[in-house]
Amino acid sequence: MFISGGENVYPAEVEQALTAHPSVLEAAVIGVPDLKWQEVGKAFVVAKPGAAVDTDQLLAFCRDRIARYKVPKSIEFVSELPKNSMGKVQKRDLVPAGPRFV
């Protein structure tokens, strides 16, 4: 869980909304520091092979399914998510690209 603007956000709920999109194979969401909201969601998305999907499509898809404050502020497309030997996504190994606020 992370807190965005005083509201609790559960990454699993956001991940379910993202993976409901027909072009998304997997998704992982983490909280990243934000100057205004304390933390905001950042999604890491693996698209299905041959599928065409972009950030704007996914954000609009999420806005129709979850509360506005839960919608990720950014989406990074990756070829795969880091996993342990049991196949569980290792969120601590997800490192967002771009500037970070501390």
Cβ atoms within 10 Å, residue 49: 6
Domain at 2-80, CATH homologous superfamily: ANL, C-terminal domain (3.30.300.30)
**100 pLDDT above the threshold of 60:** no
Q: What are the φ and ψ backbone dihedral angles of 76, each rounded to 5 degrees?
A: -115, 125
Q: Is the pTM higher than 0.85? A: yes
pLDDT at res. 95: 76
pLDDT digits 0-9 by tens, 81-96: 999 999 999 999 997 6
DSSP state of 72: -
pLDDT at res. 102: 45
Chain center to CA of 87 = 18
- Among candidate residues 70, 77, 29, 74, the one with its CA nearest the CA of residue 53: 77
pLDDT digits 0-9 by tens, 19-72: 999 999 999 999 999 999 999 999 999 999 999 899 999 999 999 999 999 999
- Domain borders along the chain are 2-80
